[in-house]
Amino acid sequence: MTNPLNLFDRPNSYIGKTVPRPDARRLLEGRGRFVDDIQLPRMGHAAFLRSPHAHARIVSIDVAAARAHPGVIAVFTGAEMAQHVEPYVGVLTHLAGLRSAPQHPIAVDIARWQGEPVAMVIADSRATAEDAAELIEVEYDELPAACDAETALDPGTPVIHPAFGNNLAWERTVDVGDVDAAFARDDVTVVERTMRFGRHTGVTLEPRAAVAEFDPSEDRLTFHYSGQAPHMMQFIFAKHLGLPEENVRVVAEDVGGSFGIKIHTYGDEVATAAAAKVLRRPVKFVADRAESFMTDIHARDHVVEGRMAVTADGGIAALAFDDLTGIGPFSMYPRTSAIEANQVLNLTGAPYVVPNYRATARVVFQNKNMMCQYRAVGHPIAMAICDGLLEDAAAAIGMDPVAIRRRNLMRDDGYPCASASGMKLADLSHHKAMDRLVELMDYDRLRAENAALRAQGIHRGIGFCSMVEVTNPSPMFYGVGGAPIASQDGATLRLDAGGGLQVASSVTEQGQGTNAILAQIAAGVFGVPIERVRVKTGDTETVPYGGGTWASRGAGIGGEAMLQAALALKSQVLDVAAVILQARPDDLDIRDGSVTDANGTPRMTLSDLARTVYYRGNELPSDLTPELIATRHYRVTDFPFVFTNGAMAAHVEVDPDTGFVRVLDFWAVEDCGRVINPQLVDEQIRGGVVQGIGGALYEECLYSPEGQLLNTTMADYLVPMAGEMPDIHVAHVETPTRTSVLGAKGAGEAGTGGAPAAVMNAVNDALRPLGTSIWQMPMTPERILKALGRV
Amino acid sequence: MTQTRTITLTVNGDSVTRTVPVRMNLADFLRAELGLTGTHVGCEHGVCGACTLHVDDAPVRSCLMLAVQADGASVTTVEGLADSGRGAALRAAFTARNALQCGYCTPGMLASALDYIDTGGSADRAAIREHLSGNYCRCTGYQAIVDAVCDVIEGRVTA
Ligand code: FES
Ligand code: FES
């Protein structure tokens, strides 16, 4: 039997190698299978009439003209839909005190954000459904709205859910050490900043999309889903539509980007499933871009008052902050909208030794679209707070930003240990990563070059971020609080008669290359060429039960399950081979699709073995019961999360006349444990960095004071384009996690989590000699000019 | 609202005649009427570039063109490129560089990049980035796409 220690340098070991993705060719030839590509007989197309007001009572709603419109199949008001759907509430017990109100898929009586569905039309085409939706007459009684998170708790502000008495959804405080005493010391320098993080959103290029099929003869719902967590949705449809869970099939084939946007319960999607059930025919809903901006979850929206005290030699004496975040009128179901604030409290300062730490979070309701988990949940805020204040403090005491990090970063040989907030940390490498970063970017030369250019009136800056990323979450993330979200994942390998492997996994693919790394692990650990592995993911009917892909868990958790299942199948196959070949299993191996001697000499092909088992069982001893299929599940134990670390740097140029910031260069050194496919990891980091740069410089959902979303087109909401992005240099430190044999941690969110802090620090490095700094994201030209006092 | 007109056009080399609503755009026509779902729609207002394809050999945003405007034209979609072999080197380079993640932007990205390559574009990264700035990609961060285009222009990848 293979010693696990040798798993990574065996023949057929694809782990650690760049292997092209099996899905690439299909997608390049126009053979993707996205939800909107599905056409079914008798399928109706849904369009939603949405509230034009941030807060309004629905006095009356007249759908008669819409119902009578040619081609219309059905119209549902909120009250009609409510008869078919049990309302849902986005709370979890481990977020003690979190409250939210019951939510309906379509507003009943009161609409609480602009864009909330008010009625649904199903017709023979989307165009017809939209025509009919325009014929619906709604009389609204506009109510005063609570839009601004910063005044949401003021006494005069309208209360969105009157039964709660105020707009507070949740609050939490962490208080470690003696913060007040540390700030009061006379040998510390204190910096203090108010930081604002605008709302932004995922802008998946494929909008949210759903096709629901219902077969009344079997009481069976099939939901084609552009999303990340099929089993979670299976539970949700079963519970809220009143179906047996096993009768709900959720299928996610190609997903055109997700980034956390497509992991939540959206009213329009629930209504689509319910309508298919009621109408006994398929219904399709695909959000258009305006609907995406108005209703895909938004993220961030934090105001932070932060303070840091450092000693003369740059040691962090204390870190304290108050975080306020607005989440819209409800906490999103089922993951809740308090997780981001919770993460901010958990993660801030985690790379550093912080002896005294106090943080409070307040999460408030407001009449805007809902806020929830998007790529790098909480990380950009947490990293910007600590690393922003740290570089501010460094400047205040005249210390280099790299030197102050080296002074405060936790020692690489000091793990396992805990962060100030109590997070268990292990296997991290902040100092190594920083050393690698400084070398990669040629830091001293760059500093000197910036200084020389400054003399010529060119204002460049360098900014850093030392970060941690939460990956491979255990049940402590959601399951512990009662959420129907699996933290374990499963993998099945089946040896087919032809000698190839059919493998299935409960993690999902949204473009990261999940299917590729699963194939690499299966092929390498079991012993077949990768071309002989077919991977199935994203179908509750055919894959093991599991959580899906989110929180950077696909490779680490799904990959380990695949590794364990491959080891199990290998052992089962060798047991059979040993009988056929009259050998000891320990003296056999599987390589290149054959059972071999320990030295690699082929003895029989896997297809010979499988055909003997499947077709000619008569040749086997009757007491041999071959199993050519194996399933294993894996979950992280002992640690709530498996943290990764990274060191990033941005190099920017600020034009003080226009306020424009150009990112000239970006470097990321990442330690995500064992790298399964270097190219895929690097591309995850690059894509993540670019989303982080978007949040730092461009992206913001802009609302009027009355709660009207002002930018609902791609022309008005700016995402990074090819022309303004730099090349991004990526390097790795590999410290495998001790929690698995595979040793892989996640990598999907690091870039998005760390880049905003690095870019903000770089902009401030450029601005400081001009006598100013900026603490609001996105750092738009207008805001930079304001900081410079030029407008 | 639902006026129709009969159009005849060539799609991926095949002659096609259909009666279509005059308000139907070319992207919806290809996807819904012809089942050519390789053409993707990301914004329907001409910004994201996902729907880019070739009409009479020029790149066109198929969400901004009505189907009736394509009457008499020759349309090539991503499926047509694959079947004819055109752009094979670019697809090989996209695969080698992992210049696609979710693949939703990819058909439009290929159409725009092929246009750049076939009109004699140079392997100048800034120029390539500029040319592709009408095509959004939310996944890759663009670098691998630029790498792939350079690989083709500099002959590092062949079909
Ligand atoms: S769908 Fe045509 S440009 Fe976006
Ligand atoms: S690969 Fe997903 S949008 Fe480009």
DSSP string, A320-369: EEEEEEE--SSPPTTT-SSHHHHHHHHHTTTTB--SSEEEEEEEE--SSS
The answer to the question of residue B39 being in a domain is yes
Write out pLDDT tens, residues B35-61.
999 999 999 999 999 999 999 999 999
Does residue B45 belong to any structural domain of this protein? yes
Q: How far apart are CA A559 and CA A38, in angstroms?
A: 30
Q: What b/e string do you get for B70-95 counting C-beta neighbours within 10 Å, with b at 16 or more?
A: beebbbbbbbbbbeeebbbbbbbbbb
- If you write DSSP's letter for every residue of A682-725 in order, what string do you get? HHHHHHHHHHHHHHHHT----B-TTS-B---STTTS----GGGP
Look at A257 and B102 and tell me if their CB atoms are within 8 Å.
yes
- Could you tell me which chain B residue has the CA closest to the CA of A289? B43
d(C-alpha A758, C-alpha A777), whole Å: 12
pLDDT digit string (tens) for A481-529? Answer: 888 988 899 999 999 999 999 999 999 999 999 999 999 999 999 999 9
**In the predicted model, is pLDDT for residue A6 greater than 80?**
no
Q: Does residue B122 form part of some domain? A: yes
Tell me whether residues B128 and A25 touch, CB distance under 8 A: no
Nearest ligand 1 atom, CA B61: 2
pLDDT 10s digits, A720-754: 999 999 999 999 999 999 899 999 999 889 999 99
Q: What pLDDT does residue A740 have?
A: 94
Domain finish residue from B32, B52, B77: B77
Q: Do residue B66 and residue B126 come from a single domain?
A: no
- Ligand 2 contact via A205 beta carbon (within 6 Å): yes
Pocket test for ligand 2, best of A21, A23, A205, A721 (most atoms within 8 A of CB): A205
Which among B23, B44, B78 has CB closest to A289? B44
The alpha-carbon gap from B106 to the nearest alpha carbon of chain A, in Å, equals: 7
Domain boundary among B30, B57, B77: B77
Q: Provide the token pair at A680.
A: 């895929």
Q: With an 8 Å Cβ cutoff, are B91 and A25 in contact?
A: yes
Are residues B90 and B72 part of one domain? no
CB of A511 sitting under 6 A from ligand 2: yes
Question: Is the pLDDT reported for residue A231 higher than 70?
Answer: yes
- Lining ligand 1 with CB less than 6 A are B 41-44, 46-51, 61, 63
Residues B18 and B49 placed together within one structural domain of the fold: yes
Residue whose CA is at the smallest distance from ligand 2 atom 4? B137
- Which residue type occupies A186? D
Centroid of ligand 2 to alpha carbon of A650 (angstroms): 24
CATH (domain of B110): 1.10.150.120
> What confidence tens digit (pLDDT) does each residue in A396-443 have?
999 999 999 999 999 999 999 999 999 999 999 999 999 999 999 999
Same domain membership, residue B105 and residue B73:
no
For residue B61 the two structure tokens come to 């945003």
> How many whole angstroms from A141 Cα to the centroid of ligand 1?
37
**Nearest ligand atom owner, CA of B48:** 1
Instruction: Tell whether B87 and B53 lie within a shared domain.
Output: no
Nearest-by-Cβ selection for B103 from A511, A679, A722: A511
Judged by its nearest atom, the ligand closest to the C-alpha of residue A255 is 2
Q: Which of helix, strand or coil describes residue A170?
A: strand
Q: What is the CA radius of gyration of chain B?
A: 16
Residue-wise pLDDT for A273-290, tens only, equals 999 999 999 999 999 999
**Distance in angstroms (rounded) separating the CA atoms of residues A196 and A324:** 10
Chain B closest CA to A512's CA: distance in Å? 6
Same domain as B21, residue B59: yes
Q: How much is the pLDDT for B158?
A: 79
Using the predicted structure, report yes or no on whether residue B112 has a pLDDT greater than 50: yes
Ligand nearest to the CA of A204: 2
Answer yes or no: is the C-beta of B141 below 6 A from any ligand 2 atom: no
How far, in Å, from the CA of A726 to the mean position of ligand 2?
17
Which candidate in B30, B81, B104, B124 is best for mutational testing of the A interface (most A CBs within 10 A)? B104
Residues near A523 by beta carbon (within 8 Å), at least 6 away in sequence: A12, A14, A501, A529, A530, A532, A533
Q: How far off is chain A from B8, nearest CA to CA, in Å?
A: 23
**SS3 for B26?**
helix
Q: How far apart are CA A266 and CA A35, in angstroms?
A: 16
Measured CA to CA, the distance from residue A352 to residue A119 in angstroms comes to 51
Q: How far is the CA of A226 from the centre of ligand 1 (A)?
A: 19
Residues 6+ apart with CB under 8 A from A5: none
Considering the domain architecture, whether residues B36 and B63 belong to the same structural domain is answered as yes
Confidence grade of residue A4 (pLDDT, cut at 50, 70, 90): very low
Q: In terms of domains, do B73 and B102 share one?
A: no
Question: Does a structural domain hold residue B106?
Answer: yes
pLDDT band at A9 (very low <50, low <70, confident <90, very high): confident
Residue B61 lies in a domain: yes
Selected for mutation to probe chain A from B142, B145, B152 (highest A CB count within 10 Å) is B142
The residue of A27, A128, A514, A520 whose CB has the most chain B CBs within 10 angstroms, and thus the best one to mutate to test that interface, is A27
The rounded Å distance from CA A717 to ligand 1 centre is 15
Domain range for B115 is: 82-153
pLDDT of residue A704: 97
Residues B73 and B104 in one domain: no
pLDDT at A634 over 80: yes
pLDDT for position A483: 87
Res A452 pLDDT > 50: yes
| % pLDDT > 70, chain A | 99
- Note whether B31 and B59 are same-domain residues: yes
pLDDT at A639 over 90: no
Residues B68 and B92 in one domain: no
Q: Please check whether residue B158 lies inside any domain of the structure.
A: no
ipTM above 0.90, yes or no: yes
CA distance A610 to chain B (A): 33
* Mean pLDDT across A163-179: 98
Q: Nearest by CB to A683, which of B43, B77, B140?
A: B140
Q: Measured between alpha carbons, how far is A732 from A713 in angstroms, rounded to an integer?
A: 38
What kind and span of H or E run contains A492?
Answer: strand A489-495
| Nearest-CB residue to B104 (from A29, A205, A691) | A205
- Say how many Å lie between the CA of residue B26 and the centre of ligand 1: 11
- Residue pair A702/A709 in contact by the 8 Å Cβ criterion: yes
B46 CB near ligand 2 (under 6 Å): no
Q: How many CB atoms lie within 10 A of CB A621?
A: 8
Cα of A202 to nearest chain B Cα, Å: 9
**Best residue in A205, A226, A517 to probe B by mutation, most B CBs within 10 Å?**
A205
Of A29, A205, A688, nearest to B136 by CB-CB distance is: A205
Query: Do A567 and A486 form a contact (C-beta atoms < 8 A)?
Result: no
Task: Say if B58 falls within a structural domain.
Answer: yes
Using a pLDDT cut of 90, give the percent of chain A over it.
93
Given this model, what pLDDT does residue B1 score?
Answer: 53
Range A29-63 burial, b when 16+ CB lie within 10 A, else e? bbbbebbbbbeeeebbbbbbbbbebbbbebeebeb
Q: What is chain A's length?
A: 791
> In total, how many domains does chain B have?
2
Instruction: Tally helices (H) and strands (E) across chain B.
Output: 6, 5
Cα nearest neighbour of B139 on chain A: A687
Burial of A452 (0-12, 13-18, 19+ CB in 10 A): exposed
3-state secondary structure labels for all residues of A258-275: CCCHHHCCCHHHHHHHHH
Domain end among B77, B107, B139: B77
| Nearest by Cα to A336 from A172, A106, A176 | A172
Q: Which domains does chain A have, with CATH numbers?
A: 4-32+488-634 (3.30.365.10), 35-143+207-255+261-295 (3.90.1170.50), 376-473+640-787 (3.30.365.10)
Token pair 């990956």 is at which residue?
A: A471
What digits encode the pLDDT tens for the residues B60-75?
Answer: 999 999 999 999 999 9
Expressed in angstroms, the distance from the first to the final Cα of chain B is 47
A25: which chain B residues are within 8 Å (Cβ-Cβ)?
91, 95
Same domain, yes or no: B47 and B91? no
Dihedrals phi, psi of A169, to nearest 5 degrees? -95, -40
Checking if the pLDDT of A1 tops 50, the result is no
DSSP H helical ranges for A717-779 = 750-767
Q: Is residue B44 part of a domain?
A: yes
The H or E element that residue A538 is part of is: none
| Contact flag A30-B107 (C-beta cutoff 8 Å) | yes
- From chain B, the residues in CB contact with A755 under 8 A are none
Beta strands at A117-123 and A72-77: parallel, antiparallel or unpaired: antiparallel
| A686: nearest CB among B39, B126, B140 | B140
Distance separating alpha carbons of residues A251 and A249, to the nearest angstrom: 6
- Chain A residues closer than 8 Å to B114 by CB: none
- CATH code for the domain in which residue B12 is found: 3.10.20.30
- Secondary structure of A17-73 in HEC code, one letter for each residue: CCCCCCCHHHHHCCCCCCHHHCCCCCCEEEEEEECCCCCEEEEEEECHHHHHCCCEE
Please name the residue that has the structure tokens 């050393």: A435
CA distance B116 to chain A (A): 14
The three-state secondary structure class of B137 is: coil
